[in-house]
Structures are given as C-alpha cells and as structure tokens.
Structure 1
Amino acid sequence: MSPADSSLTLNDRQLAGDAPLAAGGSGGASGASVGTLARSAGQTLTEQLAAQFAERIRQRLLAPGARLPSVRDCASRHGVSAHTVVAAYDQLLAQGLVEARRQRGFFVREQRAAQAVRATLPPDAPRVAPVDATALIRGMFHGLSDKPAPGLGTLPADWLDLPLLSSALRRVLAQGDPMIALQYGHPAGDRRLRDALSIKLASFGVRAVPEQIITSTGATHALDLISRTLLSPGDAVLVDEPAWAVEYARLSQLGMRLLPVPRGVDGPDLGVMATLIREHRPRMYVTVPVLHNPTGNSISLAHAHQVLKLAEAHDFWVVEDDTYSHLAPAHLPRMSALDGLQRTLYVSGFSKILTPSWRVGYMAVPPQVVERLVDTKLLSTLTTPAVLEQAVALCLEQGSLRRHAERVTQRLDAARHRTVQLAQAHGCRFVTPPNGLFGWLDTGVDTEALAQVMLDQGWLLAPGHLFQATRKPGTLMRINFATSQDPVFWQALSAARR
C-alpha cells in the first residue's frame, strides 16, 4: 500500500468508494459483485468478501484498472454495513491487489509485469493492458456455469462434428505412415496439408504454391511468428479499432507502437490511415478484413484496393487475418488475392470451424520471407503436430470440412435472425449490420459494469472496452449469435441494465 493509500481515513475511503468515476478516468465502473456471503461460515463477513474479490482479481476476471463497487453499493448488495466493506477493501489494499484513489474509488492494481512491459514502450505508444483481453479468455476456460456464454468467441460444442474429427484421426493413424506419430514433423508443416491448402486458397483467388505455406499452432501463433520475424521493437503498426484485444496486447508486449484506425462498414477509415502513415511510417497493417471481429463487417473491393495502394506507396506489410473464412462467402474480396502475396501475408486456421482444441493454423506468404518465418517457427515450437495436420488435410481432401461448414453456416444464419429479434425486443441496437458470428451491440449502459453484474449470474459477456486499443468505458459489447439465443439471457440483461 502506498503512502497516499495509507493516509486515507475510514471516512475518506467511504467517500472515495461512493464518488462517481471522473469523466475520462481510466477504467470504467465495473459494478463488480461477488458470490453470496454466509453468516454462519467459519470466516467473518469481511474475510469472505475480501477473499471472493481477491479470487476474482487473481483469476483476472477483474482486470487491472477495473473499479470495485462503491462502498455504499457493495454494502447494499450484500446486506452488510459500510464498515464491513471498508474492512474488506482494506484487506485487498494490504495484499496489494487494489488501490484507493481519493474521491474516485477503489481500483484493481496493475501487475508489476504489465507495468514493466509498458515502461519499455515509446512515450507516444497507446497504453494497452494485456490482461484486459485475457479476462474474457480466462472466463471461457473457467467454465463459470452451464449457461450459454454470449461473449464466447467460438461455436458451441454441440455445433461441432465430433464423429468427423474422430474418423479423420483414426484414418490417419490406421492408414498413414506409422512414423508420423513418433517423430517431428516437417519444419514448414505437413506437406499433405500444405498441398490441400494450396488448392483451398485458390478457390477464392489466393494463389500460393505449397512452398509458400507454413503451418502454425493456430492463427494467433501465425500472427505472432509474422510479428517476431518482420518487426522490431519500436516499429509502428496500423491496427483496426475496434478489434480483438489479444492482437493489441500481443503487439504491445513485443514493444510495437499501435496506430488505431477506425473501422467502418467498408473497412478502415482511409483518411485517418493516410494521415497516420505520413506521420508515423508504419511497418505493418494487421486486419481482419472478412467478417471482422467484433463488427461483422467485410472490407469492400474499393477499400481493399486503396489499402494496397497505400502499402505499395509507403512500403509496409499487410497482414490479412482470415480467421472466419469458413463462415464467409467465397466471393468476398481478399487482399492477398488482389495483391498476389507481394506485400500481403494471409493467415487463417481451423479452430473456429472444427474445434478449438485442434490448434492448426497456417499462413501463405511472399517467397522471400518463407525461410525467415520457418526459422522463427523452429525457435518457438520446433514443429507443429503432423497427425492433426494430416487429419485436417483429409477433411479438406474429402470435402467433409466444406459440407460441415455449410451446415454450420445455415445454422448460424437462423441463430443470427433469432438473436437479432431478441436483442431488439429488449431495447438493444446493432450499430453495424449483423453478419457472421458476431454482433456489435449498443446496450445503452456501461458494459464493463454490466459484464460484472451478469458474470455473477453465470453469463459471460464481452464488453466493448476489450476491443479498444486504449481502455475506454462505453455502451457497446460483442455478442456471439450462436450462444445468444436464450430468451432468459435477454431478460436477465434487461434487468441488469435497469
């Protein structure tokens, strides 16, 4: 606890806890509450309250910068006195988990590791909290309840085809080279899969011979290999905003300077992009052009052409993350097809359509950077699992993956229609046309606070601040159309908004 914290008296802390968050302050009011307190338990009410908040902070379900409920609000929710809440917050202060800011409230303290990373960034780099993104991911891994998770980033398990996966693995192990499971795979990835990927990419205009394709342990790993190979600490990188915060956090941890470009219906704001390019000379632009996460938008052909012209004129790479390609119409423009893999690097994977546990991704890249990327891959993972890669190749060769994707897409279309009706009936508004897996929704209230209230009821949300390059409170959130069809969820959301 800092000297400033220790100088706060009981009344000061009560005032701090009850004070509204100053406009533009870091971290929106979370409204985070915890589980029910038991008056007959072996611990005092103060100890129970402190322990439950501490556990949520350690699990990173309350991210650094998040504001704890005011003393008055917390006392009201749990039916305890303000003195009990202040005593619990005192314990959290003593453990170094929170800090008290005079007249503003109690906030989750930044971890020292995150502070050390930020200290290495140039002074004009946007300050990104890497753990903000992991808060949602950890929530998915913890299995908070048996309820559908509207904030989930993947398809529900019952939408996936387990017999398809089992059959592919059995056939590879029974009929393929028996040594495949007993030795390292090829450094660039299994040749059978790279051959199949070359054919698949050609179906939507991306021409890449197998020698230009490198496999990875998921699309995120491919993005990381590209960044580590083609960038150096301090380089400026153009990113969409909003976008998935894992990419912001990953680039920030590598010491890059983020240049957020507003993302519109047709793609990035070209005017803002041109200005940032002139002022900062970026080395790379990373984007999800098709079925963008979280807005669902896809880049227009005209915008794609203009982005490539800017890349050529100002000498920067364009990294095209096509993670949702299996859910998208083939006719949507890919910049890698327009560019012929000259300044573009194409990234995709199979976790979104087959199963999250099969971490099979890949990239198609310009010939001159292949060996450098393979060297980086060798240093990070040696090789990738050839058995899984051959199983994916089999699914591609036999058309079973294509048929599965068609069934999923039809089911997703129906889920999207139903979810849009439920959302609008409960007073929410889509700020972009609903497409793909995700909807970008305006709830009318602070979604960081809303997410914590709903989390206590077992509903996992994805509040809008997770998709901003710099933490900003707001009223937007991302929903997964496949996991947001339960009317009970929308009723609970309406009650929480009130």
Structure 2
Amino acid sequence: MALTRTSDQTLTDQLVDRFAERIRMRLLPAGARLPSVRACAHQQGVSAYTVVAAYDKLLAQGLVEARRQRGFYVRDLLQKTAAAPAQDGKATSAGVGLAEIVRAASPSRPSTARSSGSRINAAALIRGMFYHASDHPQPGSGVLPVAWLEEARFMSAAVRKITNLETLRQGSLTYGEPMGDRGLREALAQRLTDVDIAVGPDQIMTTVGATHALDIISRSLLKAGDPVMVEEPGWSVEFARLDALGMKVLPVPRGPDGPDLAVMARYCETHAPKLFVSVSVLHNPTGYSLSPGSAHQILQLAERYNFHVVEDDTYGHIAPPHATRLSTLDGLRRTIYVNGFAKILAPAWRIGYIAAPEEIVERLLDTKLLSTLTTPSILEKALALCIDQGQLRRHSDRMRMRIAAARARAVQVALEAGVTFASEPAGMFGWVETGVDTDMLTQRMLDEGYLIAPGALFHATRQPCTLMRINFANSQDPNFWRVWKRVVAESGAAASGGA
C-alpha cells in the first residue's frame, strides 16, 4: 500500500516498517536484494534521502547488510546474530554514514551471491500462506478460496454424527490404531481402485497430511548424505525438507511429458540415488501431467538402478479421468503413493495417507510412531463416513468443474492483459512468464496489496527467475491483471534504465 504523509509516522519510519515486516515474514528472504535507492524512491514516491534514511535504520536493526558497489541485501535471520565485519574500516550497522550508503546503493553489476538454502525458499512460500496482503483475492495462494471450501459442510455433519458418547470416548481416551482408523483405510483402499491401484488396507497408513507422509518416507528410507532426485521446478517444501535432513538434492527438469529422462539417467550412473519424488498429475507449479511413455521409462530406470519412486498425488482429486500414474503401472512394487485431503476439503483438516509396498510398511510405521504416535481417529472416522456415502466424490466433482470455470476465466483476463503462459494452463495453478525478475515484482505487487508466488521459490537453489505461479481460483479479477501489467511495465523500465 502507498506510504502516506498524513500518518503519525514519518515516511522514513513507514518505509522501515514495511521492509522489516516483509523480512521477518521472509517475504523478503535472506540474500534478496533491496531495490536501489533511486528505484525505491521512484516506486514509493519519496525522496532519495528518505530511502537512504530508511536503509540506514534497517542496517542499524541488523535486518540488511550493505555490500560495497552492490547494494543492500537481506541478512539471514536464522543465523546467530554477530557483529558484522568491517568493510574498508567502516561498520556495517548503525555507524554507516550517508556516503557509504550511497556508494553501496550505486548501480553496479548484479550480485551473484544469493541464498542457496532451500529452507529459505520454503519459509517464504509457507509464510506467504499466512500473510494477508489485503482483502483482495491473492493469486499467490496455494489453497482454494474459503467460500469454496465452505461447501464441504458434510464433513462437519459427519463429525457430529460419529461423535456420539461411545465413539467420542473410544476415540479420545485411547491412542487408536497405529496404522490409522481401519474403516478409513478400507475406504481408501476402495477409493484407490478408481485409479486402478490395487492395494489392501494393511498397505495403507494414515498421516497428518501429505507433507507428513513425505517426511515419514524420507526418514524411513534415507540417511544423511543420500542422493534424492526431485523435479524442478517443484514444491520448495520438499527441497527444504530433504536439505534439512542432510540429503543431496538432485534437481531434475520437469517438462510437459514428465521429468528429463536423460538427466535422470546421468544421475543414476554418477550418484546412485535412493529416491525419486514426483508429482505425476497436475504438477505444481506447471500443471503438466505425466505421459504413459515417460512413466514406463521412469519405472525402467527405477528397476535398473534400484531406487524407489515417491508419487505425490495431491492434486489427483481434481485430475482428469484416467490420468497416468506411476503407481498404477507399477502396482506398488517400487512406487510409494502419497495423497491428502487438505487441498480439496480444508487446509486445517490434516489427513493424508501412504500406500506402500508390503516389505517397507513396518519401517514406515516405526517412523510414524516415533514422530506422532497415532493420528486423530475422530477426524479419520468422519472422513471414512464421507467417502462411504459418496459425499467426497460428489464434492471433488464440483470442485473440478469450478476450478475449470475459474481457470477459463483467469486465462481469458490474463491473455487480455498480454500475459504469456510458460505451460499450457491445467489444474489449479498457472505458470506465467513475466519478463522481469519476479523476486522484485513480488515486492512491488505487495505494495499494491497482492501476494504472488515468484518462480525462484520453486527451484532447489534461489536464482533470478522471470516466472511466477498463480492460483486460477484467485486470479479472475481483471483489476489484478491491470495492476500487474502496470507494475511489470514499470519494473521493466526501471531495469532498462539501470535503476
């Protein structure tokens, strides 16, 4: 939002508070470069001296650092705060003088020093889920609108139905079944026959959402230093989890038909990876779905080089019929199937599950018991009831149609604004080419009240990127695209002018 001269705060303090909030929320991640003094002054409609004073205060607070002849960069707040080393005999905190600030902010070649920690990317993405830039629909959101999810009132009714006194007592006063509620596992086994995955309830284990499922698999099958192949662009939380566990992350470029098989083959020959993590259907962020030919070749590589394939089918609920899944072709021999219900029902209903080969089920269960003991049986019983009565299927069908209508509308208004899609629009998300650095674009759009998801968040290491991901359900407003078009033009003009 625009700075105001009628505020009780000075323009300098308003600017400081704006940057400080975004840095602490990691919407400006560690290693991100602040706009140059001239560019910031132009964007905010203030004098260069106001920006210099604001940057000086951010330096004094230890939120940014000045790099001589390069500009100002966000410090890593997760590292222990220590006194900054002197540069040319001058301090880099409160003692920085005006001349030093201006020198640091002078236009120069772009810095190649960027945050390589994928956990920073993930933190920015996750924290953005809780950040409300304004009352506008937020195109960077990863979930469906609340108004849509409120249609799933059958879940609340199911909870009321199963929480009679005896069920409530049994579900609350005991730990429940380690593998998860038996009724839900039976319902899930039946549901998986819809995608031709034949599996019994004893091969299914419930989890606290799909993210927890992926974590259980990693902790059960890997040890620190093990190489893991992950699609790129991809979900940065997965990069971050593996990085935090000490794994060697091997990014595999994702194309329209699937992962780059030549890259996978080279990794197999040189690194002997233990795992490959894939979103076969409606890949996030590109919307791509795996072709049968690619699926067969992936499974051949897994057999030849002896690694497991983890198939994250989070978006399977809204997928077209008969979409290709690795687990269907493989029959859960080398594949491990993961799914959850947060996207389709409600983000706070953390119910997910794993369908796995029989020989590794006990290992997965041991890890689950060590991390969460069991999972909430009352919610699991309620979900089982909704599946058995066909309510979840009908709700998924409605959401699929509603997303398709939103996608058509969002694509129409985006194309009218001159947008180029980097991949054919499909599913819940769109992958958009902007032509400008989307890290910088994100900050400018936040000033306008819109949160977008910059492309750098979807890569294993943070690099300059001109792509952004949008949520079609939240990108139907023509006003967003008018603002986006103006800000992109201003950003492009500033970059070409050396600002």
TM more than 0.5: yes
**1:272-351 pair list within 5 angstroms:** 272-351=263-342
8 Å Cα contact 1:149/1:459 also seen in 2? yes
What is the match of residue 488 of structure 1?
479
What is the match of residue 169 of structure 1?
159
What is the match of residue 145 of structure 1?
134
Matched positions, count: 454
What is the match of residue 57 of structure 2?
91
Cα shift readout 1:239-296 (whole Å, capped 9, x = no counterpart): 1111111111111111111111110110001111101111111110001011100011
Secondary structure in structure 2 of the residue aligned to 1:264: coil
Q: Aligned partners of 1:357 and 1:93: how far apart in 2?
A: 38
- How far residue 176 of structure 1 moved from its aligned partner, in angstroms, is 6.7
Give the residue type in structure 2 aligned to 1:164: F
- Indicate whether 1:365 and 2:356 are aligned: yes
Distance 1:127 1:55, change over 3 A: closer
8 Å Cα contact 1:64/1:129 also seen in 2? no
User: Of residues 416, 420, 424 in structure 2, which corresponds to 1:425?
Assistant: 416
What is the match of residue 172 of structure 2?
181
- How far residue 39 of structure 1 moved from its aligned partner, in angstroms, is 6.1
Q: Aligned partners of 2:254 and 2:281: how far apart in 1?
A: 12
Q: Aligned partners of 1:258 and 1:103: how far apart in 2?
A: 33
Distance 1:275 1:147, change over 3 A: same
What is the match of residue 134 of structure 1?
123
Q: Give the root-mean-square deviation of aligned CA atoms.
A: 1.8
8 Å Cα contact 1:185/1:386 also seen in 2? yes
- Indicate whether 1:459 and 2:425 are aligned: no
Distance 1:133 1:108, change over 3 A: same
Give the residue type in structure 2 aligned to 1:372: R
What is the match of residue 68 of structure 2?
102
- Indicate whether 1:36 and 2:3 are aligned: yes
Give the residue type in structure 1 aligned to 2:74: V
Distance 1:250 1:455, change over 3 A: same
Give the residue type in structure 2 aligned to 1:93: L
Secondary structure in structure 1 of the residue aligned to 2:263: helix
Q: Aligned partners of 1:363 and 1:373: how far apart in 2?
A: 9
8 Å Cα contact 1:203/1:330 also seen in 2? no
Q: Aligned partners of 2:293 and 2:235: how far apart in 1?
A: 24
Distance 1:79 1:335, change over 3 A: closer
Q: State the TM-score, normalized to the length of structure 1.
A: 0.88
Secondary structure in structure 1 of the residue aligned to 2:242: helix
- Indicate whether 1:271 and 2:262 are aligned: yes
- Indicate whether 1:240 and 2:206 are aligned: no
8 Å Cα contact 2:118/2:236 also seen in 1? no
Give the residue type in structure 1 aligned to 2:159: L
Q: Aligned partners of 1:79 and 1:321: how far apart in 2?
A: 46
- Indicate whether 1:77 and 2:77 are aligned: no
User: Of residues 214, 221, 225 in structure 2, which corresponds to 1:223?
Assistant: 214
8 Å Cα contact 2:287/2:426 also seen in 1? yes
- How far residue 488 of structure 1 moved from its aligned partner, in angstroms, is 0.9
Distance 1:176 1:407, change over 3 A: farther
- How far residue 170 of structure 1 moved from its aligned partner, in angstroms, is 0.9
Give the residue type in structure 1 aligned to 2:463: K
Moved more, 215-224 or 373-382: 373-382
What is the match of residue 93 of structure 2?
none
- Indicate whether 1:204 and 2:195 are aligned: yes
- How far residue 37 of structure 1 moved from its aligned partner, in angstroms, is 4.6
Q: Aligned partners of 2:12 and 2:419: how far apart in 1?
A: 38
Give the residue type in structure 2 aligned to 1:65: G
Cα shift readout 1:312-361 (whole Å, capped 9, x = no counterpart): 11011100000011001231121111111111110000001111110000
Give the residue type in structure 2 aligned to 1:446: D
Q: Aligned partners of 2:78 and 2:392: how far apart in 1?
A: 45
Secondary structure in structure 1 of the residue aligned to 2:164: helix
Q: Aligned partners of 2:308 and 2:14: how far apart in 1?
A: 52
Moved more, 178-187 or 317-326: 178-187
Q: Aligned partners of 2:346 and 2:7: how far apart in 1?
A: 44
Q: State the TM-score, normalized to the length of structure 2.
A: 0.87
Cα shift readout 1:133-170 (whole Å, capped 9, x = no counterpart): 22232222132221111111111111122421211111
What is the match of residue 23 of structure 1?
none
Distance 1:68 1:189, change over 3 A: same
User: Of residues 157, 181, 184 in structure 2, which corresponds to 1:190?
Assistant: 181
Secondary structure in structure 2 of the residue aligned to 1:404: helix
Secondary structure in structure 1 of the residue aligned to 2:442: helix
8 Å Cα contact 1:237/1:258 also seen in 2? yes
Give the residue type in structure 2 aligned to 1:36: L
Q: Aligned partners of 1:276 and 1:440: how far apart in 2?
A: 27
8 Å Cα contact 2:152/2:395 also seen in 1? no
What is the match of residue 28 of structure 1?
none
Q: Aligned partners of 1:427 and 1:149: how far apart in 2?
A: 20
8 Å Cα contact 1:114/1:130 also seen in 2? no
Moved more, 131-140 or 163-172: 131-140
- Indicate whether 1:256 and 2:247 are aligned: yes
